């Protein structure tokens, strides 16, 4: 059932930083999106979906893309190397989402070998054509089309890419402030600021965002309109609400959401491993990581951390 679509670009307000949950393979699925939305997250991404597989297989569509009426605003991220395939996939998900995003940043070898991800930053004309075709073929005037990129060593090439995407109709651009070869080096805030100053559409910064102070510092240093977090939200899904570490209330919220939605145990357990890593001792983590069933996890949480606290979520 099609739901009312807000204009994503209308969520970007002067002086306000839009807080966004990044696309994360295996992790930014519907239950986790429901959790971070409770704690100050403004927009969520799906995990990256390979558009060609999505269009080829009903099974892939059913397993890769799940949502519900409360899962909004929602951006579906696709990996694609072909404009028509991307546009076809966008048309399929458009009734159930608020925008699509083209992944131009994934540095994994398999993705780049298939012509996906970060290799697209070296093909600005193809990115331009893909953005333009999605804008032309999705019959929803409020639907957003965005790109998520990494930067070049020669920043002039990145500015050219972003300006071509903007001219083709990109609604906004997310910049991961590292090159495709960089993994743990500090994010290049100067590069993000240069890109922000070179386009008129909203720009979102991604990388090295682990708490609300990082959000504010990134905004101050770069002037961006939004900030996207990945690992920071895995470690603390309440990060955008201002919590330094995962509050116990958030842990129990995850238990409720995950069990209600039938989340597979491995996913349920892994999320809790991330959430509890900074608030538990090494012996506690060793015991917790060895648990093998949902009931064992819930029993452990009760015994170790006690009942759900009577706290209100701050926003």
Cα four-point dihedral sign 133, 139, 141, 147: negative
| pLDDT at 61 (0 to 100) | 87
Rounded Cα distance between 104 and 150, Å, is 7
* Residue 17 backbone phi and psi in degrees, to 5: -105, 115
Using N-to-C axis directions, what is the helix angle for 124-137 and 155-168, rounded to 10°? Answer: 20
Q: Give pLDDT, residue 309.
A: 62
Q: Contact at 8 Å (CB) between 65 and 90?
A: no
Q: Given this model, what pLDDT does residue 58 score? A: 86
Cα 294 to Cα 233: distance, rounded to the nearest angstrom? 22
In the predicted structure, residue 180 carries a pLDDT above the cut 50: yes
Active-site annotation holder among 106, 119, 189, 250: 106
Task: Tell whether the model's pLDDT for residue 34 goes beyond 50.
Answer: yes
Which has the closest alpha carbon to 156: 195, 112, 126?
A: 195
- Residue 2 reports pLDDT greater than 50: no
Q: Using pLDDT thresholds of 50, 70 and 90, give the confidence band for residue 315.
A: very low
Q: Which whole number is the average pLDDT over 167-187?
A: 94
* % the chain with pLDDT above 90: 84
- Say what the pLDDT of residue 313 is: 45
Q: Is 267 a catalytic residue?
A: no
Per-residue pLDDT, 57: 86
Asked if the model's pLDDT at residue 3 lies above 90, the reply is no
Tokens of 198: 């070179």
Contacts of 281 (CB under 8 A, 6+ apart): none
Is it the case that residue 35 has pLDDT exceeding 50? yes
Q: Is the pTM of this model over 0.85?
A: yes
Rounded CA-CA distance 86/27 in Å is: 23
Residue 312's pLDDT band, with cuts at 50, 70 and 90, is very low
pLDDT tens-digit series, residues 51-110:
999 999 888 888 899 999 999 999 999 999 999 999 999 999 999 999 999 999 998 888
The CA distance from 36 to 265, in Å, is 19
Position 4 scores a pLDDT of 54
Summarised one tens digit per residue, pLDDT across range 229-264 is 999 999 999 999 999 999 999 999 999 999 999 999
In this prediction, residue 6 carries a pLDDT of 65
The pair of structure tokens assigned to 124 is 């600005």
Question: Which runs of E-coded beta strand occur in the chain?
Answer: 18-21, 43-45, 49-50, 74-79, 99-104, 144-150, 172-176, 203-206, 226-229
């Amino acid at each position: 059932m099609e739901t009312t679509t807000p204009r994503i670009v209308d969520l970007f307000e002067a002086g306000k930083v839009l807080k966004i949950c990044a696309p994360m393979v295996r992790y930014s699925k519907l239950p986790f999106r429901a959790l971070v939305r409770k704690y100050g997250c403004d927009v969520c991404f799906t995990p990256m979906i390979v558009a060609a597989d999505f269009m080829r297989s009903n099974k892939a569509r059913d397993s890769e893309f799940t949502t519900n009426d409360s899962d909004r605003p929602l951006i579906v991220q696709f990996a694609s190397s072909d404009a028509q395939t991307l546009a076809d996939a966008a048309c399929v998900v458009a009734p159930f989402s608020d925008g699509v995003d083209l992944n131009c940043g994934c540095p994994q070898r398999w993705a780049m070998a298939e012509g996906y991800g970060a290799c697209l930053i070296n093909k600005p004309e193809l990115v331009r054509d893909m953005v333009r075709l999605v804008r032309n073929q999705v019959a929803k005037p409020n639907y957003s089309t965005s790109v998520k990129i990494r930067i070049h060593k020669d920043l002039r090439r990145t500015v050219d890419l972003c300006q071509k995407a903007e001219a083709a109709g990109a609604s906004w651009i997310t910049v991961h402030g590292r090159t495709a070869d960089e993994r743990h080096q500090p994010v290049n805030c100067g590069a993000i600021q240069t890109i922000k100053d070179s386009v008129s559409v909203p720009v979102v910064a991604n990388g090295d965002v682990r708490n609300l102070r990082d959000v504010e510092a990134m905004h101050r240093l770069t002037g961006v309109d939004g900030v996207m977090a990945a690992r920071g939200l895995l470690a603390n899904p309440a990060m955008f609400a201002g919590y330094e570490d995962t509050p116990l209330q958030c842990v129990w919220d995850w238990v409720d959401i995950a069990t209600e939605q039938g989340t597979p145990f491995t996913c349920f357990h892994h999320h809790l491993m991330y959430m509890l890593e900074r608030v538990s001792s090494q012996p506690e983590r060793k015991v917790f990581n060895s648990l093998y069933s949902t009931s064992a996890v819930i029993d452990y949480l009760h015994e170790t951390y006690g009942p759900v606290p009577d706290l209100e979520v701050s926003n």
